[in-house]
Amino acid sequence: SAVISQKPSRDICQRGTSLTIQCQVDSQVTMMFWYRQQPGQSLTLIATANQGSEATYESGFVIDKFPISRPNLTFSTLTVSNLSPEDSSIYLCSVPKGRNRRETQYFGPGTRLLVL
Amino acid sequence: GDSVTQMEGPVTLSEEAFLTINCTYTATGYPSLFWYVQYPGEGLQLLLKATKADDKGSNKGFEATYRKETTSFHLEKGSVQVSDSAVYFCALSGNTPLVFGKGTRLSVIA
């Protein structure tokens, strides 16, 4: 199984600022996924980050608000821009077990964001 | 599009009680089905999965059977423990990487 770490584990931010979340995997992976888990809610896929190409965003999520970088096969960042209290959530990255995006996914521990 | 519906929580059980958490899905084609668990303060962990009809996934005493005829993947455990207290998510992987249900919070009391 993949070992995934995220930084920071939690943060409190002021509205209007931005937060960049890092995701590090202990092995090379083609795809990485970013999810949002709003308080008391399920997980929603934000985007798929592929190395060497632009991220693919799901409906309702845009690059200006959630810019993603994928500089190599073990690392990705998600920035949440122009923060508002509605962005208070847990943000998780994940990677598939194999090359198929339908495979089992391994999740990082999550980043808990509170926006004041 | 693909979707997952699971029973609303919270569910509170006494230790050694029988657990069922219902999950039904809507999907085109033949999705893979998963149960993930989120323990307090931790990230998601895969609990079990099934990739085709009539497959049974099992782990840590939990079981779920992929029922295509009823489009269901109900989670069961014969005797729950306090350490099973967590949020359980049913999920499917079809046209998108993972679509999750809303989660069911389980509390087991001694």
pLDDT tens digit string along A65-113? 999 999 999 999 999 999 999 999 999 999 988 766 667 889 999 999 9
In this predicted structure, the answer to whether residue B47 has a pLDDT above a threshold of 80 is: yes
pLDDT band, very low/low/confident/very high, at B55 (cuts 50, 70, 90): very high
Which residues are within 8 A (CB) of A56 and not within 5 positions of it... i.e. 6 or more apart? A47, A48, A50
Specify the higher pLDDT residue, A3 or A23: A23
Model pLDDT, residue B97: 73
Cβ proximity of A66 and A91 under 8 Å: no
B40 touches chain A (CB under 8 A): no
Cβ proximity of B102 and B7 under 8 Å: no
Task: Name the maximum alpha-carbon separation found in chain A.
Answer: 39
Q: A36 to chain B: nearest residue by CA?
A: B100
Cβ proximity of B66 and B32 under 8 Å: no
In this predicted structure, the answer to whether residue B96 has a pLDDT above a threshold of 80 is: no
- Pairing state between β A31-37 and A89-96: antiparallel
CA quadruple B46, B51, B53, B54: dihedral sign: negative
Model pLDDT, residue A96: 86
Contact call for B97 and A33, based on CB within 8 A = yes
Contacts of B98 in chain A (CB under 8 A): 33, 43, 45, 94, 105
- Chain mean pLDDT for chain A: 92
pLDDT band, very low/low/confident/very high, at B28 (cuts 50, 70, 90): confident
Model pLDDT, residue A99: 67
Contact call for A102 and B32, based on CB within 8 A = yes
In this predicted structure, the answer to whether residue B94 has a pLDDT above a threshold of 90 is: no
Return residues 36-55 of A near B (CB < 8 Å): 41-45, 48
- Six-digit token pair at B3? 């979707």
